[in-house]
Amino acid sequence: MRLLAVDDDPMIVLILKRIFAQEAEVISLDSGRAALAWLEDNVCDLMLLDYRMPDMDGFEVLRILRRHSQHDDLPVILLTGDTENGLETEGFALGATDFIRKPFVPDVVRHRVRRLVRYEYLKKHLEQEVGRKTLLAESRLSESRLLFREMVVALARTVDAKDKYTSGHSERVANYACRIAKLAGESEENQEKIYYMGMLHDIGKIGVAKSIINKQASLTPEEYASIQTHTVIGFQILQSIDVFPDLAMAARCHHERYDGKGYPEHLKGQDIPRFARILAVADAYDAMTSNRSYRRILPQAQVRKEILQGRGTQFDPEFADIMLGLIDEDVNYTMREMPQHVPGKEQEV
């Protein structure tokens, strides 16, 4: 493991070197400019970056760093003794991966660095595995549908397992989206596509701390910002699947709102991809009809009211109306409990 420690305080650098003496190579630099120059010809697994430095503060280093594709995904932990309100929120918005307050506890620093490095390793190998299995599916057409489905289900269940309250969320969202797409007149091919998009729409949550996902109390602004990153992380994981680019699109855009107040791009109306607009309704319905860490299943009348109120603001009116129709048909409130149609499965032997 190679760490880049950037701090103009020699004592902080010395402490960091002692913390990781037995497990990492620590490259130390005393300014942001020196760090950016070093990164032009070198690589590291993670950067520990001081927020306050005389020539260039940590935020400016982050701004420059994230503009360069070579290092736009480099994990960066900001070190700061400041207690300003909003500091962490701004830092996360600029691309910081985590914050550590000074004076810090060595074991905390060691734990956070190990966790982030493990996550980056997992993410890179997950991307490679998804790409490898997709290529295998192309070369073995007779087995591709089954292989791809099993891979998608395994990945979706891995993500869902992080949240003890919403097991099966991805499969339910996929099924609801598939039903909406069918009623909207989409072809069987597109129904199958949106099923897989629904299965993997939350894949980016693999990069969000389990403690945040399962938190019962209200999220802090920093924790909410961390949750929001799952759309971008999911896009980064799935964009390597060139034969199915809509998978990455769905992961990135399923939290966009019809009125433009969603995230991460604040897309509005028809600028939001059609399949993402379908997923947004399906995702919201399942969120309201499933137990969550912070509340129980909502009554069906309240679910219907929320979908209706979100029509034209949070949701595309076309797909909100279809979901309202499905709710009205579900007089016994059992749609959330019933096994759903899986596109293409009936064709298998």
For the annotated catalytic residues, the residue numbers are: 205
Q: SS3 for the chain, per residue? A: CEEEEECCCHHHHHHHHHHCCCCCEEEEECCHHHHHHHHCCCCCCEEEEECCCCCCCHHHHHHHHHCCHHHCCCCEEEEECCCCCCHHHHHHHHCCCEEEECCCCHHHHHHHHHHHHHHHHHHHHHHHHHHHHHHHHHHCHHHHHHHHHHHHHHHHHHHHCCCCCCCCHHHHHHHHHHHHHHHCCCCHHHHHHHHHHHHHCCHHHHHCCHHHHCCCCCCCHHHHHHHHCHHHHHHHHHCCCCCCCHHHHHHHHCCCCCCCCCCCCCCCHHHCCHHHHHHHHHHHHHHHCCCECCECCCCHHHHHHHHHHCECCCECHHHHHHHHHHHHHCCCCCCCCCCCCCCCHHHCC
